[in-house]
Amino acid sequence: MLSIIIIGGMFSWALNLFIGCYVFSNNPRNVVYQKFFLFSLSIAFWSVGSFLVQFIPGDAILAVTRLCYVSACFLPVLSMDFGISLVDARKFLPRLFYLLPIVFMILLFFGDFFIRGLRQIPNQRFYVTDPGSAYGLFFVYFVIGSLATLMILFRGAQHNFGLKKKQLQYAFVAYLIAAVAGLDYFLSVFKIVDCPPIDDYLLVLTFAILAYAIIRHRLMDIDVIIKKTIVFGGIVLTVVSSLAVLLGLVQALIGISLGSLNPLILMIIGIITTVSIYRPMEKWLVMITDRYLFQKKINYRVLLREASAALAHVDSLKSQARTMVAFLIIKARITHAAVYAFAAPDRSCLTLKASRPQVLDPLLRRIGLEHPLIDFFQAHQEPIEIHALEEAKGRGEVAEEAFKAIASLMESLKAEAAIPCYGGEAASRFNPKAFRLKGILFLGPQKSDESYREEELDVFFTLGQESSIAFENARLYDEAVNRALELERINEELKRTHSALLEEKKRAVLAAIGKSMAHEIRNPITPMNSHLYFGRKRLEEMRKIYEATAPEAAGEDREKFLKNFNSVSEAFCEIEKCKDRIQGIVNTLYNLVAQKTGNKVEVKLDMVVDSAIEEVKYQNYWETLNQPVIENLIPRDLPFVSGIPQDLQGVFVNLIVNAIHAMEKTTKKVITIDAITDDESPNMVRVEFSDNGCGMSPEVQAKLFEHGFTTKGARGTGLGLFYCRNIIEKVHGGTISVTSRPGEGTCFTICLPEYRKMVESAVV
């Protein structure tokens, strides 16, 4: 056990010292590198002491322990100072804090207030500190320093973006493990855990994470160039060696369990096993090294050529933007991307045209021309990288409010860089007076987790200029398309207006014809009414004369007179009925073409249905649908109904249109309209309107007349049958009902009151 602990201490010492020296050697004048070197040196000094004290005999062991605690006294202050510098290289820990380790050093070497000596862990050859009365203060000082460092790194990770954020996250995890390692030693000192501490192994893990962050994520802005073949070869050698040992153990176990086997057979089995495992293992190792240690390099010359080819064809702005986003994510290996551009015809702001992942916040869909980002591009006309912008803010080149607005926008879009797309000369500086911003490309973190270098931003800036040409062409394309759509809309509006004028003219002509016909027919009806009236008067006088002279007349003459008299009286009644029917037909025709009124008049249903059929034809349904057969079977001698002709015509128009829609998938379309006097309901006329369409389920029939209910989807309003029911039942005092079966058609039954006029009888 002791030998394992000693090896751990030696390895921790060597690793910490190596990484600290390597970082310091990159730039000895860099203050951050200096602090990291001192921090690493302190931990290395403590690690080497953890195994030296196990070999030093006598009183010298206490002196060595005190020397090791010198580095421990400086660890909290050095860690805080390094953490502050790592978050912001311009800030430092006040020098006053360095008085604390000096105070503890005085307590350490004068008396036994700090350390009384060493004690051996029971049943172990391992020594730990025997704390003095002031050791508790040192423990509190260590805990506060560790928590303060963790808080500094955590807050720094929260308030930074992209690569800097990831660097601080790794630093936080590494120091958290280091703090746990320190606390682990205190557990043994205070006899909470009576076993050797494992702090040296945890410190190895700490510096392994820091080394990975330096290699992969350029922690402290250190570029480490490692030959891929060397690392890959080392990993393969390690894995294959481990695999060979494992196979050897398996072969030995097989030999023991099965007795003596031919060594040649065992060797063949080993070779086959190694060959079968190596190829999948090689692919896995390539994937691991590419993902965690190396990045696939991008040929930017090929990238620009492919981008030009992708954007060469003219398309809509939205399509071009989507192409650009897909290109950036797939070809340029970027995790997030968004494209803003001026949309046609609105040039008052930049509009989000495409993004991945989708931007859901409606406030991020527009960037106004008053935004500080637009002002920055107008002033500098160069790409923005968030870390470079932060440095510019620190130098006073960017105002605090402008930086906050730009950083907030880029954080919301998960972007690390913003590339302006200018019109005109590609990739050149422009005259600020000739500001030609066409769009903005927002680039998220690279899949390699590297921050954007200057040469990469130059390539994307050139790509932005290529994009601006495509965006402007796409905007002009959209304008042309929108203009064509607007012209088409205006043309349709003109057609509708023309149709309305024709309809109005048609109605005016029909109204004139109807009025003229009504006038011409009424002219002879007027004297006819007079003749009928005086004729009935004369009959009445003849009846009175007959009653006065009848007793003197012979029986045969009296019978003949009565027969002729009754015949003439009945003829007068029939003539008056025909006159009333002619009057009703004329009134129906007149009211169909006249201005709508709320007055109920006598209505001839077959004429209303014929008029409704003509109106539906005039609405051009026959041009888009196969013309159905409409059979108007209403008897010509059907009694008049009491109603408003225009309203009843609207009801039949709705029913015909609905039937046409219901028969879209029917090969032979037939609509039948019939009417009879209703024997079950006196003084009512029953109309049956049926089609052979798709029919309806009972659930649909139950909701059919509800306001807003429709089965037509987007082309339906849910008002047609609601209107029909209101007209029939509330306006005309009738009823409307429906019977239907899916696949068998539908039948609407409408009952309307008859128009009744009392006619005096002259029969005796």
Query: Which tops the pLDDT comparison, 177 or 619?
Result: 177
Distance between first and last Cα of the chain: 141
User: For residue 105, what pLDDT band results from cuts at 50, 70 and 90?
Assistant: confident
Mean pLDDT of 311-334: 78
433 has a pLDDT exceeding 60: no
730 has a pLDDT exceeding 70: yes
The DSSP secondary structure of 200-236, one letter per residue, reads HHHHHHHHHHHHHHHHHH-GGG------HHHHHHHHH
Please report, for residues 528, 550, 574, 579, 659, the alpha-carbon distance to residue 535 in angstroms, rounded to integers and kept in the order given: 10, 21, 13, 15, 51
The predicted-structure confidence for 200-210, as pLDDT tens digits, reads as follows 667 778 878 88
Amino acid type, 352: L
Residue 151 is predicted with a pLDDT of 92
436 has a pLDDT exceeding 60: yes
Q: How far apart are CA 320 and CA 589, in angstroms?
A: 61
User: For residue 375, what pLDDT band results from cuts at 50, 70 and 90?
Assistant: confident
Mean pLDDT of 381-408: 85
CA nearest 541: which of 521, 506, 522, 569? 569
Amino acid type, 97: F
Sheet holding 735-741, edge to edge: 629-632, 670-677, 684-691, 745-753, 735-741
738 within 8 A of 749, measured Cβ to Cβ? yes
pTM for this prediction: 0.41
Q: How far apart are CA 588 and CA 49, in angstroms?
A: 117
User: For residue 361, what pLDDT band results from cuts at 50, 70 and 90?
Assistant: confident
Residue 297 is predicted with a pLDDT of 55
759 has a pLDDT exceeding 50: no
- pLDDT above 70 covers a percentage of the chain that reads 70
Mean pLDDT of 114-135: 77
Residue 2 is predicted with a pLDDT of 43
The predicted-structure confidence for 17-28, as pLDDT tens digits, reads as follows 777 787 888 778
Residue 314 is predicted with a pLDDT of 60
CA nearest 142: which of 196, 201, 91, 187? 187
The predicted-structure confidence for 282-302, as pLDDT tens digits, reads as follows 566 556 655 555 445 556 667
CA nearest 586: which of 507, 534, 524, 540? 524
Strands 629-632 and 670-677: parallel
668 within 8 A of 622, measured Cβ to Cβ? no
Residue 196 is predicted with a pLDDT of 66
Q: How far apart are CA 503 and CA 509, in angstroms?
A: 10
Considering only 203-217, 449-463, 492-506, which range has the smallest mean pLDDT? 492-506
Residue 214 is predicted with a pLDDT of 79
710 has a pLDDT exceeding 70: yes
250 has a pLDDT exceeding 90: no
- Number of residues assigned to the chain: 764
The DSSP secondary structure of 689-731, one letter per residue, reads EEE-S----HHHHHHTTSTT--SSGGG--S-HHHHHHIIIIII
